[in-house]
Structure 1
Amino acid sequence: MREEKLQAKAQTVEEIKEKVQDAQSIVFVNYSGLSVADATELRAQYREAGVFYKVYKNTMMKRAFEELGYDESINEFLKGPSAAAFSMEDPVAAAKVTQKFADEHESIEIKLGLVGDKFISVDEIKDLAKLPSKEVLVAQVLGGLNAPIQGLANVLTGNLRGLAVVLNAIAEKKEQEATA
């Protein structure tokens, strides 16, 4: 029985380590004031944004971060009810959802964030939440790259159109001269 509990704890620590290593960013929250309905709504918003959200025991999270080589500064934030929102695809997704939800519900408290291997403060999470999503940034970059190409195509099309008009005018003039 005791060995099974130890094995379950070890599996939980491994799961946390895997999530931390695979995540683009993580937001840690205190969820203690959330009603069941609010918690369900928050989970749905995370799921919709592609964010993995889970409540872990603080001791399991502390152990996982320790095994991953992080310093013990996270321990001061892992007190009381703690949950983690892991952004696996878009680095700003967890921050955006959490910040929006926190603005609408005073019952949730943002504790800390992690981007790459750097812990970030609540203010930095708020700044991160203001950034556009990865898809929007990619679209903006591609739009910026496309603009010069579009301009070149318009110039070339304009020159070809002008050439066609001139050739047509010459052909009509020669035709009028031939008939006259």
Structure 2
Amino acid sequence: MDTADLARSKRQYKPIRDWMIIDLALQAGLRVGEISNLEIEDLYIEKGHSHIHIRLGKGNKSRLVTIGETLRNHFKRFLKERKSKSQNLFNSERADQMTTSAIQKVVKRVMSLAGLPLHYSVHSLRHTYATLLYRSSGNNLRLVQQQLGHSSVQTTTVYANVMSEDVAKAVNGIIKES
């Protein structure tokens, strides 16, 4: 592979990698440190029950995060395009493990390109995931707690409070329309 081929390969791979990072926060609710620490062996992406093994979550706790078909298919495409021999799922230009700050920079760059506010972060995407999961699970706090890796359901109740705010806005909207 000559230098031009290598450059072209990197240009094609980076958007796929960046999209994968965004998807891990938005479709699996992973923390930035969890994304940084992922290794190839942490993925189980077969049909049926696909999941990600988080070996080093907050407080050095381990957990399994169930993922949906869309994210599973995205992983398959990402792994097909990935050229690195490293066990780290995400690598820097030097083929080292991507740092949390490098991952945050990817998110900021993607947000900027999408015309979204720059205050969005991996944590904002995780919060969005949790809120959507809470809604789609029929307000099942325990399920959200398990997926996010919270040790206490109290930490997870913030997503229930967001829903209360949504209900209040909706009710106020009905009253204003009357």
Question: Does the TM-score normalized on the shorter chain lie above 0.5?
Answer: no
Greater strand proportion: 1
Q: Which has the higher contact order (CA 8 A, sep 6+)?
A: 1
TM-score by length of 2: 0.29
Q: Which has the larger radius of gyration?
A: 1
